[in-house]
Amino acid sequence: MTVVWDMAQVQASPLFAALHPVLAQADWPSHAWPALADYQALLDKLPQPVMTAGGARLRVAPQASEKPDDWRQGYEPRIYLRGELQTRAENWHDVFNLLVWATFPRAKAALNARHYALLEARAGLTTLPRLPSQDALTQFDETGVVIVSADETLSDLLQSFQWKRLFCERRSELQVHMHCYLFGHGLMEKALTPYRGMTGKGIVLPVAPAFFAQTPARQMAQMDERLARLIADPQKLAMPHDLAPVPVLGFPGFTPENENPAYYEDQAYFRPGRGAAL
């Protein structure tokens, strides 16, 4: 589904709260698509340059028109080695990818570094199946959410799929002590037209209560630092089951539908199931 460019929608929606500090710095038109040069201008005005783990400064590059012959010319290696973020014009998926790089530069660099290391170890062996770790990294990159929680009992409810207790019985506490931030740029694209069933793959980060008293920009910076350390650990995100499925629209404020407790009776969305390791 094609969605027209509407910066006001993204800036107003709580689903894109993680991006709001960076979007406040973007001198982009409200109702017309920015050009690739506008995307680069945003990267250039950030307080700190966005760097890859390979030591290259991130810059926007046009999408390659042909499939590369050499694995080093592929999407992830070009980012790692040369800082070239291939970006399509007038494409929400790629815009959100850029904005996540600007918001969580360390975490995105850590994801890219792990992808590169796995590709390098298997260079030339193109017939091998993907590794479980590659799938886990891609799932978080595309559909990830970050749950920050200052209450361990709320985290336990989320990871044990006790949705009614979490979202209904503990709703007032959840609104104070837990928040869900979208990380995956593919999930953000879906959030332009949110629908019941929209699910993220989550990482839970325990925080102190004082975390929520900080500015949004400071919160994102702390999350970025912690995510980067977690992602860089080869024992983490080793398989897709390391990520917790999260029914995103269960969180208060993400859809007016969930003001009605009956919303959480839909077991096709709020499914019982296994927990996650992270």
On the CB side of 31, CA atoms within 13 Å amount to 0
* Whether 148 and 261 share a structural domain: yes
pTM over 0.75: yes
- Our count of domains for the chain comes to 2
pLDDT score recorded for residue 128: 72
User: What does R_g of the chain's alpha carbons equal in angstroms?
Assistant: 19
196-208 residue pLDDT tens: 999 999 999 999 9
* Whether 18 and 105 share a structural domain: yes
* Whether 180 and 118 share a structural domain: no
Contacts of 75 (CB under 8 A, 6+ apart): 86
For 146, phi then psi, to 5°, come to: -115, 120
Indicate whether 276 belongs to any domain.
no
pLDDT score recorded for residue 171: 97
* Whether 84 and 182 share a structural domain: no
Q: What's the rounded Cα separation, in Å, for the pair 190 and 198?
A: 8
Average per-residue pLDDT in the chain? 93
User: How far apart, in Å, are the Cα atoms of 228 and each of 144, 222, 234, 236, 242?
Assistant: 14, 10, 12, 11, 16
Residue 67, Cβ density class (10 Å: 0-12 exposed, 13-18 middle, ≥19 buried): exposed
The least confident of 6-10, 20-24, 47-51, 273-277 is: 273-277
| 3-state SS, residue 127 | coil
Residue-number span of the structural domain to which 13 is assigned? 7-129
pLDDT score recorded for residue 2: 59
Q: Which of 224, 211, 204 is nearest to 153 (CA)?
A: 204
pLDDT score recorded for residue 276: 45
* Whether 111 and 154 share a structural domain: no
pLDDT score recorded for residue 207: 97
165-219 residue pLDDT tens: 999 999 999 999 999 999 999 999 999 999 999 999 999 999 999 999 999 999 9
Domain endpoint, select from 100, 129, 158: 129
Indicate whether 278 belongs to any domain.
no
pLDDT score recorded for residue 31: 83
pLDDT score recorded for residue 278: 47
Give 132's DSSP letter.
H
100-116 residue pLDDT tens: 999 999 999 999 999 99
Domain endpoint, select from 129, 160, 189: 129
Q: Which of 104, 103, 100, 108 is nearest to 79 (CA)?
A: 108
Decide if pLDDT at 275 tops 60.
Answer: no
